[in-house]
Amino acid sequence: MTMLGKAEYGVTTFFTRSHPNDKCGANGLPLTPNSVKVLGRFQGLKHLKHPQICKYLDIVKDKHERMVIVCEHYRNCLSSKSSTFSSREKLTEIAYGVLKGLAYLNSIGITHRNLSKDNILFDAEGQVKLAEYGLYYMTGYGAEVAFPIGMPQYLAPEVLAEAPITVDEHSDVEPEVLNPSGPKVDVWSLGMILLEMMCAQDLWTGLTMPQIFHKIFAFLKTDQSPLQSIAKDNSLTETLKTLTPDVVEFLNKCLTVSVKHRPSPSELLKDDIFTELRLKEVPYRNGFQLFSTESRCKDLELPVYGENGTIMQDFDFDHLSLRNMEEVYYLWRLAGGDLEALLRKEGLVITKPPITLLPSFCTNEGDVFGQRRDRAELLDSIVITASQEQLRNRLSEVDEKAYYPLLEDEQSSMTSSLPLSPSSSDLTNTASLPLVIKEKDVEYQFHRIILYERLLKAYPYKRAHIWKEARVDIPPLVRAPVWAALLEVEGDIEGLYNSIDKDTITPTDRQIEVDIPRCHQYHELLSSPTAHVKFKRVLKAWVVSHPEYVYWQGLDSLCAPFLALNFTNEALAYACLTAFIPKYLHKIFLKDNSQVIQEYLAVFSHLIAFHDPELGNHLDGIGFIPDLYAIPWFLTMYAHVFPLHKIVHLWDTLLLGNSSFPLCIGVAILQQFRDRLLSFGFNECILLFSDMPEIDIQRCVQDSIKIFCSTPKSATYRQHARPPKKAQKEESRPNLSYYSRDYNDQPSTDLSMEPIPIEELKREKVPRISAEDLIELGELTGPAHSKSPTKRKQNSKPMLLVVDVRSEEEFNKGTVEKSINIPFHSAFSPEGDLNACPAVTTLTSSRPQVKVIVGSRGKNAVNFANEIIRLGISKVCVLHKGIDVLRQTGLLMLPPADI
Low-confidence winner among 195-204, 266-275, 285-294, 443-452 (lowest mean pLDDT): 285-294
Question: For every residue of 792-836, which 3-state class applies, written as one string?
Answer: CCCCCCCCEEEEECCCHHHHHCCECCCCEECCHHHCECCCCCECC
pLDDT for the residue 776: 83
Taking the C-alpha atoms of residue 851 and residue 719, their distance in angstroms, rounded to an integer, is 23
| CB-facing half-sphere around the CA of 4: CA atoms within 13 A | 20
Strands 820-821 and 800-804: parallel
Average pLDDT over residues 714-733: 72
| CB-facing half-sphere around the CA of 665: CA atoms within 13 A | 29
* pLDDT tens-digit readout, 880-891: 999 988 888 888
Average pLDDT over residues 613-640: 94
Q: Cβ neighbours of residue 603 under 8 Å, at least 6 residues apart?
A: 660, 663, 716, 717, 718, 761, 767
CB 665 within 8 A of CB 704: yes
Percent of the chain with pLDDT over 70: 83
328: phi then psi, degrees, rounded to nearest 5: -65, -40
Average pLDDT over residues 139-162: 88
pLDDT for the residue 416: 39
* pLDDT tens-digit readout, 117-133: 999 999 999 999 999 99
Q: The dihedral of CA 266, 267, 269, 270: what is its sign?
A: positive
* pLDDT tens-digit readout, 777-810: 887 765 444 455 555 455 455 678 999 999 999 9
User: Binning pLDDT at 50, 70 and 90, where does residue 235 land?
Assistant: confident
Low-confidence winner among 377-381, 423-427, 687-691, 834-838 (lowest mean pLDDT): 423-427
Low-confidence winner among 105-114, 425-434, 548-557, 716-725 (lowest mean pLDDT): 425-434
Question: Mean pLDDT, the chain, as a whole number?
Answer: 85
Average pLDDT over residues 849-860: 89
* pLDDT tens-digit readout, 591-619: 999 999 999 999 999 999 999 999 999 99
Average pLDDT over residues 63-87: 83
Cis peptide before 460 (omega within 30 of 0): yes
CB 37 within 8 A of CB 528: yes
Percent of the chain with pLDDT over 90: 53
Low-confidence winner among 30-44, 169-183, 521-535, 575-589 (lowest mean pLDDT): 169-183
* pLDDT tens-digit readout, 424-436: 445 667 777 888 8
* pLDDT tens-digit readout, 355-386: 665 666 777 766 667 665 555 667 788 899 99
From the CB of residue 56, how many other CB atoms can be counted at a distance below 10 Å? 21
DSSP structural state of residue 30: B
Between 210 and 289, name the one with better pLDDT: 210
889: phi then psi, degrees, rounded to nearest 5: -85, -20
pLDDT for the residue 748: 83
Low-confidence winner among 206-220, 231-245, 761-775 (lowest mean pLDDT): 206-220
pLDDT for the residue 198: 86
Q: Cβ neighbours of residue 244 under 8 Å, at least 6 residues apart?
A: 88
pLDDT for the residue 240: 85
Low-confidence winner among 16-30, 180-194, 258-272 (lowest mean pLDDT): 16-30
pLDDT for the residue 413: 42
pLDDT for the residue 305: 61
User: Binning pLDDT at 50, 70 and 90, where does residue 730 land?
Assistant: very low
**pLDDT above 50 for 418:** no
pLDDT for the residue 173: 55
386 has which bridge partners? 9
Taking the C-alpha atoms of residue 850 and residue 709, their distance in angstroms, rounded to an integer, is 12
Amino acid 286 reads: N
Low-confidence winner among 729-738, 754-763, 873-882 (lowest mean pLDDT): 729-738
* pLDDT tens-digit readout, 271-292: 999 999 988 887 766 666 677 6
What DSSP letter does each residue of 484-547 carry, written as one string? HHHTT--S-HHHHHHTS--SS--TTHHHHHHHGGGTTTTSTTTTSHHHHHHHHHHHHHHHHH-T
